[in-house]
């Protein structure tokens, strides 16, 4: 039975994966460039702050930073005039998003440290994208 499934299922999976790879657009249609930029800035910043503090692993810090960067971008996108950005709001959104993401990913021991990391992400995004 196992061989029959392998013979029938694997070729169709290979064909579907090849078609999926060739049909993927060069630029994501749904993702905004600014969201990806802020998520990248957040991931790098949070990995660095996590390494400086000696807390968490690189993957969790990167994920938490990317989510924080996207949250800061989302908060900035809600404004009628994006030029009226507030550093306090960016830092606050970053701190809250990072603390919440830390709780969701299972890092409940260092909520304050996660908030500090997120505040740093919000501050760096504010400085780099102003």
Domain membership of residue 48 as a residue range: 33-129
**H-state helical runs in 1-130:** 2-23, 33-53, 58-77, 87-104, 111-129
Question: pLDDT for 66-113, tens place per residue?
Answer: 999 999 988 887 766 666 778 888 899 999 999 998 888 877 788 898
- Is 25 part of any domain? no
Give the relative orientation of helices 87-104 and 58-77 as an angle to the nearest 10 degrees.
140
More confident residue, 40 or 81: 40
CB atoms < 10 A from the CB of 44, how many? 17
Let me know if residue 7 belongs to a domain: no
In this prediction, residue 7 has a pLDDT band, given cuts at 50, 70 and 90, of low
Average pLDDT value for residue range 7-17? 58
Is residue 19 in some structural domain? Answer: no
- 75 domain-assigned: yes
62 belongs to a structural domain: yes
Residue 27 in any domain: the answer is no
User: What's the structural domain count of the chain?
Assistant: 1
């Amino acid at each position: 039975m196992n061989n029959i499934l392998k013979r029938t299922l694997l070729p169709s999976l290979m064909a579907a994966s090849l078609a999926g790879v060739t049909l993927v657009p060069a630029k994501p249609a749904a993702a905004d460039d600014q969201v990806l930029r802020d998520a990248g800035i957040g991931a790098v910043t949070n990995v660095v702050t996590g390494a400086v503090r000696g807390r968490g692993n690189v993957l969790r810090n990167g994920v938490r930073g990317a989510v924080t960067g996207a949250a800061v971008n989302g908060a900035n996108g809600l404004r009628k005039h994006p030029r009226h950005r507030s550093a306090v709001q960016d830092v606050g959104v970053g701190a809250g998003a990072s603390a919440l993401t830390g709780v969701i990913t299972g890092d409940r021991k260092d909520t304050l440290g996660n908030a500090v990391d997120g505040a740093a992400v919000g501050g760096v995004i504010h400085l780099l994208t102003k």
